[in-house]
Structure 1
Amino acid sequence: MVCEECRTIARKEAVPVCLIDRKTLDSQTISDTGFNDALQHRKVRCVNVDSGCDFTGQIDQLNDHLSRSCAFYLKECSKCKEAVVYKDLVSHYKACAGVPVVFVDAGDSQSLLDDIENVRRELEQTLALTSSDVRDAVGLLTDQLEMLRSQLTTRSECREDSVTSVDSKQ
């Protein structure tokens, strides 16, 4: 049995499939309208009844229900990959312990990669500059230390000479 909506869509497809159960439809099933018309008015339950949907209606109303108002279909959580009933997805996502996913538009991904590469280069340049600055500062401190040692040695020698000359006068 094929509903009118599926029949219309199936006639346009190379390999027609049912929108509900994804089964391949043969040409006999698509063209057999007498049996289908009789069944169109039978009451059916939503295919998401196991998830809590209480819809009951005619088959020709089921597609509309599924595409517009059923909130009980399963949707994969982008954090934990668990199948969650759509109506509960927001509360599940807030409480989910999975890792959040960052969604990047395909057009923006190259720009994002370029930005990351530019930041990496800037950090490398800054690190190289910082290393050079540190080397220069260490060199300057070493020169100053040598100068202080030289001055200290000179003063020590002057004191020794002073002490020696005072001792010799006595």
Structure 2
Amino acid sequence: MFSLSDALPADKSALYETLAAQARSLIEGETDAIANAANFASLVFNSLEGLNWAGFYFFDGTELVVGPFQGKPACVRIPLGKGVCGTAAKTRETQVVPDVHAFAGHIACDSASQSEIVVPLVAADGTLIGVWDVDSPHLARFDDVDAKGMVELCRVFVEFGWHKAKVA
């Protein structure tokens, strides 16, 4: 088992590799998907610098609904195609937004957020599960290394924290 107090690597790629291993260790034996999502959000939020929100929006068949997260209260429902989260869900493509104020249709849940990265969560059969959303109060906080790392973290979550678990 890991500990959040363990030293994390300074190299960003190595940091994401460590976080992916920690996430897998944290969630793979747990059968409750919501508990896994809560612990996953806490792990990422408390391990990466420069974040002000990290969490899930799950697809209910019609729209995205806020799930477990760390940070200030969030928008509860987001239509597909609206804002960064809705765009990621609709296109099923990771969205890296250096300046959320320049993103057409951005939904401002927290006025302190300046940049955002959103990764769609898609099951092996192509079913949309939802999105993983991370915000920062800093402009251009996320880059290609973050995108690659977040996609890998989300792969771990979908494989070990969602599909090997149940939703109560």
What's the TM-score, normalizing by structure 1?
0.19
More helix by share: 1
More strand by share: 2
Structure of greater Rg? 1
What's the TM-score, normalizing by structure 2?
0.20
Greater RCO (CA < 8 Å, at least 6 residues apart): 2
